[in-house]
A = this chain, B = another copy of it.
Amino acid sequence: MTSELPLRERKKVATRAALSHAAWSSMLSDGLDSVSPESVAAAVGVSSRTFRNYFAGVEEAIVDELAQRYLTLADQVGDRPPGEPVWESLMQVLPAALPAIMGDRDDFAVLLQAVNDRPTMLAQNLIMFERGRQRLTEVIAARTGANPARDLTPRLYAGAATTALATSAELWARRATDLPLPDLIRTCLRRLSEGIGP
């Protein structure tokens, strides 16, 4: 039980995590403007070309850790007991997993601010969200036996869940409500599941 991954793979993971973490904390302490590929690479002790081998830019590096966690959401849905209705799985997984994914509220608010200020940051964030949504669509299709390329249902489920997630995250970060995060997303999910129409 020494290791699950070969050393080389572990090093790659470590390098990526170190770069992402350095970019993230540099943004928190000094602001996004003072984060550059060079500074991040220097902080970690690799060449700036290596930084580019991992990330297209600092925005991608900053968002990476969050993106990784977000992708695990879909996998957690996939790990629910077989036969459980999709919406029940979402109701179980999302409220429980969200606090860990979002981390500290003030830090997340800083990120959200950066995202809203910078188009490149917005793009990065949206791409990460979209990838998570696609993965969730595939997982749901696999669980229901639907064809992910043709059927509406998995896409509508995944779209609704993503909407609930994004809405909860934003209101929570802005402190627009006193509800704890799990309750907030439960509320969003419930309203979508019961039908948003008249």
Contacts and interface: CB of A to CB of B under 8 A. Distances in A.
A149 to B, nearest CB: 6
A81 to B, nearest CB: 15
Nearest to A126: B126
A165 B127 CA distance: 18
A119 B126 CA distance: 11
B192 A160 contact: yes
Contacts of A195: 192-197
Given A127-B119, A159-B166, A167-B155, A85 B198 contact: yes
Interface residues of A, number: 39
A150 interface: yes
Given A119-B56, A198-B193, A159 B167 contact: yes
Q: How many copies of this chain sit in the oligomeric assembly?
A: 2
Mostly helix, strand, loop or mixed at chain A's interface? Answer: helix
A49 interface: no
A10 interface: no
Contacts of A152: 167, 171, 187-188, 191
Contacts of A188: 152, 156
Contacts of A126: 123, 126-127, 130
Which one of A123, A191, A198 has the greatest number of beta carbons of chain B within 10 Å? A123
Given A87-B196, A119-B127, A193-B198, 17 more contacts: A149-B174, A150-B176, A150-B177, A152-B188, A155-B167, A156-B163, A156-B188, A156-B191, A156-B192, A156-B196, A157-B196, A159-B163, A159-B166, A160-B160, A160-B192, A192-B195, A193-B197
